[in-house]
Amino acid sequence: MAQSTPLILRLVASSVTAATRAGKIIRDIMSEGNLGIVEKLANAPVGLSSTAKDGEIEFRISGKNDLQTEADRSAQRCILASLSQQFPEVTIIGEEGPSFCEVPSDWVVTDSDPEVLKMACPAYLQNIDDKDVVIWVDPLDGTSEYTQAGLLEHVTVLIGVAVGDRAVGGVIHQPYYNYKRQREGGEVEEMGRTLWGIVGGGVGGFVPTSAPEGCRILTTTRSHSTPVVQAALDALQPDEVIRVGGAGHKVMMLIEGKAHAYVFASKGCKKWDTCAPEAVLIATGGRLTDLHGDSYKYHKDIPHPNTGGVLATGRGQDHDWYLAKLPDAVRQALV
């Protein structure tokens, strides 16, 4: 890869291959059936039992709902090792904390996606300095769904590229895209897919699609609901609410026209959940803010929690209409 290729293109192109490699690690660990689940805050093994269901393993977990598995840990080590080798001056922040241990050599991938490298670089990103770049990594978004049978399509690998305060590049890899069709013997070329976008530059790996007119479909959490989360949804008078796992998966619903807005009135999401999805969404003409209408910032010193909640709308949606409809009580719960 020529060093004259603009840094943003090299970052996103390398993130596409790293996310894809991490996705294979995630599938391999599931196939081996030993997820090594711990509850994150306590960092202790959780009470666990498992059964096979429809050819998948379902893990029943007693305890809290902020889990980490061997797949989260290994996928992060793969991504950090791959990107830090190529971009030593860039700050990389991963959900699972810093990890300096050795990784198997075949986890380190340094090739680049050729489609991304072919893109025209937007003028405002042409001369960025690697010291202003932060890469936000969620190695496995949707861990709760990863441990439950039938929900593997909710799992994504997220790599977001921020320059200064702004999310400008994003990669969303969906390792189990098409897995049900493949299991049923359907023709599937390759397991998984990778979607990416550069704000002002373009997108790849999917066809941006607007949601249908004449109805309002909202998407939200399936595993972290609260009365405030529900109050926000009710105020928006939806025709349908689709409850799926993962911030990455929910933003995919927006960019592929399956929902109009992603509404999450909770402080639970973090910067690594929203950086990549936000960049891809903006690249398609959508918007992501907190529930006060403020944009999140992604520089390296920013606190990780997205304490103002998440409102993301697909292209063509009036973001301000959603903001105006939210009750004060919901907004006040998110300060």
The answer to whether residue 143 is catalytic is yes
- Minimum distance of ligand AMP from residue 53's CB (angstroms): 21
Q: Token match 């509404």: residue?
A: 263
Q: Which is nearer to ligand AMP, 92 or 269 (CB)?
A: 269
Q: Which of 143, 156, 221, 274 is catalytic?
A: 143
Outline where 64-167 has alpha helix (H). 70-86, 114-117, 143-146
27 binds, among ligand AMP, Mg ion, none (CB under 5 to 8 A by kind): none
Q: Choose the stretch contacting ligand AMP; rule: CB under 6 A; options: 2-10, 120-128, 164-172, 221-229.
A: 221-229
DSSP H or E stretch at residue 42 = none
Q: Around Cβ 214, how many Cβ atoms within 10 Å?
A: 5
**Could you say which residues in the range 62-81 bind ligand AMP, by CB under 6 A?**
66
Sketch the per residue contact string, 248 through 277, with Mg ion: x for CB under 5 A, - otherwise: -------------------------x----
Q: Which is nearer to ligand AMP, 247 or 282 (CB)?
A: 247
26 binds, among ligand AMP, Mg ion, none (CB under 5 to 8 A by kind): none
d(CA 335, CA 323): 15
Q: Cβ contacts of residue 158 below 8 Å, gap of 6+? A: 19, 136, 137, 138, 141, 170, 171, 172, 173, 247, 248, 272, 273, 275, 276, 277
Asked if 312 is part of the footprint of ligand AMP (rule: CB under 6 A), the reply reads no
Asked if 223 is part of the footprint of ligand AMP (rule: CB under 6 A), the reply reads yes
d(CA 335, CA 9): 36
From the number of C-beta atoms within 10 Å of its C-beta (0-12, 13-18, 19+), residue 154 rates as buried
Asked if 141 is part of the footprint of Mg ion (rule: CB under 5 A), the reply reads yes
- Minimum distance of ligand AMP from residue 65's CB (angstroms): 6
Q: Choose the stretch contacting ligand AMP; rule: CB under 6 A; options: 41-49, 99-107, 185-193, 264-272.
A: 264-272
Asked if 108 is part of the footprint of ligand AMP (rule: CB under 6 A), the reply reads no
66 binds, among Mg ion, ligand AMP, none (CB under 5 to 8 A by kind): ligand AMP
Residue 250 DSSP SS3 = helix
Asked if 273 is part of the footprint of ligand AMP (rule: CB under 6 A), the reply reads yes
CB 197 within 8 A of CB 207: no
C-alpha pair distances (Å), 127 with each of 5, 9, 124, 163? 11, 12, 7, 11
d(CA 205, CA 317): 23
Q: Which of 20, 69, 72, 274 is catalytic?
A: 72
Q: Which is nearer to Mg ion, 140 or 252 (CB)?
A: 140
Structure tokens at 16: 């596409």
Q: Which is nearer to Mg ion, 28 or 234 (CB)?
A: 28
d(CA 27, CA 174): 11
The answer to whether residue 72 is catalytic is yes
What residues form the annotated binding site for Mg(2+)? Answer: 95, 138, 140-141, 273
Q: Which of 299, 284, 291 is nearest to 323 (CA)?
A: 291
Sketch the per residue contact string, 117 through 156, with ligand AMP: x for CB under 6 A, - otherwise: ------------------------xx--------------
Beta bridge partners of 49: 60
Binds ligand AMP by CB under 6 A, chosen from 266, 289, 313, 317: 266
Q: Which residues bind Mg ion (CB under 5 A)?
A: 95, 138, 140-141, 273
Q: Which residues bind ligand AMP (CB under 6 A)?
A: 66, 141-142, 221, 223-224, 245-247, 266, 268-269, 273
